[in-house]
Chain A
């Protein structure tokens, strides 16, 4: 049971996606200077890359859903933490 092998994804295809997104990420700050679109694009690409690593390299896509719940929990808590800290840093923009 412990050694059931997963369906193997095409790891090299994931690698090329990760490499392509990394090259695009490095180009974004050079091409886009406006902060909101730049941050939105960079964060989207980073989340996409992290999802590719978790889903395919860490095999989360092929695991039982409980492991997905364990993996999602810290993300939800960290997102909550981020919103909790926002008022502390927003004084610069509103004050």
Chain B
């Protein structure tokens, strides 16, 4: 047996290659996010396939509230900024600022979830359900009435495709679940930060949690565009 093999038995390989990551935890989070991105990709691809294959798809701008969701987008972008500011502050040794910025991030996530619950409640009252649609549209998809409001389907008009609600609730619901998970995840990091677990030379956990939160923001940017604006 060679000397190297004998000496190396059971020892941790300390050699670095160009593929060795800066942090194994960060690599793990990136691999998780890549898998998660494919889940969102599948949902958005299914949305696109259903939408462009249907002649009775309501115009999202008419059926959904763009102003509210634009505000929700702004909120998530702000929360991403406070997340990186928290990391930056901790790396600089400014713990109070790091705690303040991370608290703002968690608060932003909670407000986002509250706004989403408000939006869903409003849409459900408007007759847009998981497998039902009450919007009356014309031949161009423009919403001209609503069965819930007692409107009738006129000549050249039709009831919107029921998959409109299905794809909407599945996609935004899956994203909302990620926001909820992110709020729980960041709250745990915040509690540990308040407890003094992190310091200027120990910010890896904050950076990894930040990666998850920025991913949630990134996905919403795409969901907002494809589901609400296009």
- A residues with a Cβ closer than 8 A to B are 1-5, 8, 11-12, 14-15, 18-19, 22, 25-26, 28-29, 38-39, 42-43, 45-46, 49-50, 53-54, 57-59, 63-67, 70-71, 73-75, 77-78, 81-82, 85-86, 88-93
A22 to B91, CA, bound (A): 30
Whether the pair A39, B53 counts as a contact (CB closer than 8 A) is: no
A2 to B205, CA, bound (A): 10
Whether the pair A5, B91 counts as a contact (CB closer than 8 A) is: yes
Report if A78-B45 is in contact (Cβ < 8 Å); known contacts: A22-B77, A67-B27, A91-B53. yes
Q: Tell me how far the C-beta of A1 lies from the nearest C-beta in chain B, rounded to whole angstroms.
A: 7
What chain A residues lie within 8 Å of B185 (beta carbons)? none
Q: Tell me how far the C-beta of A52 lies from the nearest C-beta in chain B, rounded to whole angstroms.
A: 9
- B residues with a Cβ closer than 8 A to A are 18-19, 21-27, 30-31, 33-35, 37-38, 41-42, 44-46, 48-55, 61, 66, 70, 73-74, 77-78, 80-81, 83-85, 88, 91, 201-204, 207, 210-211, 214-215, 217-218, 221-222, 224-226, 229-230
Question: By DSSP majority rule, is chain B's interface helix, strand, loop, or mixed?
Answer: helix
Whether the pair B27, A39 counts as a contact (CB closer than 8 A) is: no
Report if A39-B230 is in contact (Cβ < 8 Å); known contacts: A57-B84, A75-B37. yes
A-B CB proximity, top 8 nearest: A78-B41, A89-B53, A46-B225, A74-B37, A85-B49, A2-B23, A89-B52, A57-B214
